[in-house]
Structure 1
Amino acid sequence: MEPLVDQYSRGALHGELGLGTFEAQLAAATGGGAAPPPAGSTFFDSRLGLAVRRWCPPLLGLEQHCTPVRYLARRRELGAYSAARALLRGSGIGTYLVGPDPDASGELTTPDELASAAEARAHEAVCLRQLAAQIADTSGTVGSFLTNTAEALYAAAREAIAFVSGDGFLEESAPELPEVHRAVGRWLRDRQRRLEPVLVRHLLWSALTTGRPVQLHCADPSPLTGFLHATSGLGATVILLPRAPHHRRAAQLAAAFPHVYADIGPRPAETLAEAPFGKLLFSTGARALPELYVVGARLFTGAMKRLLDDWVTDGCCGRGDAERIAARVAGGTARRVYALDAA
């Protein structure tokens, strides 16, 4: 299989990681909060922890399933950069699409830093909320904000691979201009205010006209049906990035709307049953730990291999078809949808 295209991640942490920091990131990756692990246990005692111990130690010159203490000691011995480089270059990912991380405060790698460490390609996806804040910093009036917004969106579209928005405030039409004027005025007078829903809508509908795909991060994509209907004639491309366990519903929406695509999620057997194979794209969703890129890639390739081997054995498809389907989901569709070859 060709190198994977990871359509959504947020970069890796700089610097050395002690046991506590590493475990905190494992907990965050599984949806855990700040609570400590159970007494006498560790966050390595989880499916994710076992996966890290299975696939990552050999990339650092250790045996599979070595103890967490030995693994982290080897990490420190190599140094943070060398360890991250070995992990990323062993992940099987050839192209990274890196989204924003508002809470990172510069502690995560930039797309260029990630590309250098991984010896791969990396592209930035621009957050519309962050873009609005940057525009406001240079706009003294409502008129200049709106003019600068249009210019900034098209400038970003020339450089970024996609725009990123959340799933809030997705009404079925763009806001009226007087609404936008009033909201901009209030926000410019008081930048401590949260970005108002009408401005989020204005930015999103404006981004949909730039020709760049828009990634929608959504907990449950079911409420987006009306919005997807309304955007179907704009020539825009929308990629749904739901949270588990809603990937199946996202695949159904991708099947229903020609301009909509979806993340394949952690269980390809479910999503491939709901949508044409060319509507689903792979991602790791990794953040902070380079190990999460390795685990995400291995879980995906393993699940796809098992599923497609079953299909071949059952006579559902031939081996050539299976290889073509795997290549499409692993990167072929992402290269087409995000125009990666042109980028």
Structure 2
Amino acid sequence: MLPVDLPSTVRDALLAPLVDHHCHGVRRDDLSRARFELLINEGGSPAPPGTTHFDTPFGAAVRRWCAPVLDLEPHAPPAVYLSRREELGAAEVNRRLLAGAGVVAFLVDTAPGAEDMEVLTATEMGRHGGAAADELVRIEQIERDVAETAQLAVDYLDALGEELAARAARAVGLKTVIGALCGLDFDPARPSRGSVIAAANRRLSDPKRPLTDEVMLRHLLWSAVDVARERGLPVQFHTGFGGSGLDLHRTDPGRLGEFAGMLQPLGVPLILLHCYPYHRQAAYLAGVYPHVYVDVGLTLPHTAAASARVVDELLELAPFHKQLFGSGCHSVAETGYLGALSFRRALGASLASRLASGEWSPADAARVAHMIGSGNARRVYRL
């Protein structure tokens, strides 16, 4: 599994069980080839005619690394891989791949996808993976649920705060996708009461549409911050890589610097997810602010052989006690398995280069591997 020779203490640290601090449920049903290919592509669109999403770094990694988990030879052709997947059935495939990831705890964003996909619950993710599982609350999903039942703006705002608090009581963290909805260059100040009531009235005029009103999104975010502060929870921010329809330059986590400064006196941990291709900006924020943390998530299996370079660049500046492992697992269990494997291989290569140059001792490398793989998440999420 690991690409280089390493001291036994470092190998043991890299192969130790991980805390996956950010993932989603995976599909519980059997998938056609067309459906599977849609789900392994972040754009969610079919490959151009005559091509396949298996001809990507991620698709090649599926054939190389997931095939043996399903009792196939490495580099099995796509048709053979998918035939074996169908033969085993979704439940067995999920069990093998999630358990094979070597995760001791999954922290699961349980908000349904845009298509309301049939996915495993947090409890089921844990059961399939032989691990503990806890929930991350997607604040925009709570807002949508409340908006669809509210009649008056005041009732809507009261219910929103109450539901956030109720859901947070059963969760280990809160998550926002505000960057995908209006960008991360929003006005970071808490909006005034009058502007929020006006925004609430606008929202209730069409509650089934995705929330894009910046005032309402800022109110939702600050309401979540209040709940997180009260309960001692971190707030995750989706930034950078992941999903379609993003105005990528507006998801640069560096734009969150002013908001991070406002959050610092409150003591609420701010966790920047995915970050690529802005992982150096995220690393800078993690170095400057004591409450900012960072991961590169699903970037690693999608960059595959180049993932060591991404991890190496994050290690250049981000404090080691500020980095977290998150697979970004979603849709198919291959994403979770490859997220864990790519993380271990990439971090292993980066540690090996530092050991070879004499920059770090084996004890240093093992300590960093433990911190990023599980220790930091246990501390931040109070596991």
Match of 2:218 among 201, 226, 231: 201
Match of 1:43 among 53, 56, 67: 53
- RMSD of equivalent CA atoms: 1.9
1:6, 1:95 within 8 Å by CA — same for their partners in 2? Answer: yes
For the residues of structure 2 that align with 1:315 and 1:205, how far apart are their CA atoms?
A: 46
CA gap of 1:142–1:20, structure 2 versus 1, over 3 A, is closer
Please state if 1:246 is matched with 2:256: no
Q: Which residue of 2 aligns with 1:303?
A: 346
Letter in 2 for 1:7: H
Match of 2:258 among 215, 226, 248: 226
2:275, 2:295 within 8 Å by CA — same for their partners in 1? Answer: no
Match of 1:79 among 75, 89, 97: 89
1:91, 1:297 within 8 Å by CA — same for their partners in 2? Answer: yes
1:128, 1:203 within 8 Å by CA — same for their partners in 2? Answer: yes
Match of 1:25 among 33, 39, 45: 39
Q: Which residue of 2 aligns with 1:154?
A: 165
2:47, 2:53 within 8 Å by CA — same for their partners in 1? Answer: no
Indicate the SS of the match to 1:281: coil
CA gap of 1:48–1:206, structure 2 versus 1, over 3 A, is same
CA gap of 1:313–1:149, structure 2 versus 1, over 3 A, is same
Instruction: For 1:1-343, list aligned pairs within 5 A.
Output: 1=13, 2-26=16-40, 28-29=41-42, 31=43, 33-36=45-48, 39=50, 41-99=51-109, 100-165=111-176, 166-167=178-179, 168=182, 170-192=186-208, 194-195=210-211, 196-210=213-227, 211-218=232-239, 219-264=251-296, 266=300, 267-340=310-383
Indicate the SS of the match to 2:264: coil
Length, aligned pairs only? 336
For the residues of structure 1 that align with 2:267 and 2:86, how far apart are their CA atoms?
A: 49
Q: Please, what TM-score do these two structures have when normalized by structure 2?
A: 0.82
For the residues of structure 2 that align with 1:109 and 1:36, how far apart are their CA atoms?
A: 30
Q: CA deviation at 1:146?
A: 2.5
Letter in 1 for 2:152: T
Q: CA deviation at 1:251?
A: 1.1
CA gap of 1:111–1:75, structure 2 versus 1, over 3 A, is same
Letter in 2 for 1:299: S
Indicate the SS of the match to 2:169: helix
For the residues of structure 2 that align with 1:242 and 1:289, how far apart are their CA atoms?
A: 18
Aligned-residue sequence identity (percent) comes to 39
For the residues of structure 1 that align with 2:340 and 2:80, how far apart are their CA atoms?
A: 23
CA gap of 1:190–1:43, structure 2 versus 1, over 3 A, is closer
1:220, 1:242 within 8 Å by CA — same for their partners in 2? Answer: no
1:263, 1:283 within 8 Å by CA — same for their partners in 2? Answer: yes
Indicate the SS of the match to 1:62: coil
For the residues of structure 2 that align with 1:127 and 1:32, how far apart are their CA atoms?
A: 21
For the residues of structure 2 that align with 1:129 and 1:116, how far apart are their CA atoms?
A: 27
For the residues of structure 2 that align with 1:190 and 1:138, how far apart are their CA atoms?
A: 12
2:23, 2:326 within 8 Å by CA — same for their partners in 1? Answer: yes
1:96, 1:122 within 8 Å by CA — same for their partners in 2? Answer: yes
For the residues of structure 1 that align with 2:199 and 2:132, how far apart are their CA atoms?
A: 39
Q: Which sections of structure 2, spanning at least 5 residues, go unmatched? A: 1-12, 240-250, 301-309
For the residues of structure 2 that align with 1:21 and 1:106, how far apart are their CA atoms?
A: 12
Indicate the SS of the match to 2:105: strand
For the residues of structure 2 that align with 1:337 and 1:260, how far apart are their CA atoms?
A: 10
CA gap of 1:138–1:20, structure 2 versus 1, over 3 A, is closer
Farther-moved stretch of structure 1 (124-133 vs 100-109)? 100-109
CA gap of 1:328–1:59, structure 2 versus 1, over 3 A, is same
CA gap of 1:258–1:43, structure 2 versus 1, over 3 A, is same
For the residues of structure 2 that align with 1:7 and 1:89, how far apart are their CA atoms?
A: 16
Q: CA deviation at 1:194?
A: 4.7
2:37, 2:46 within 8 Å by CA — same for their partners in 1? Answer: no
Q: CA deviation at 1:213?
A: 1.0
For the residues of structure 2 that align with 1:20 and 1:185, how far apart are their CA atoms?
A: 42
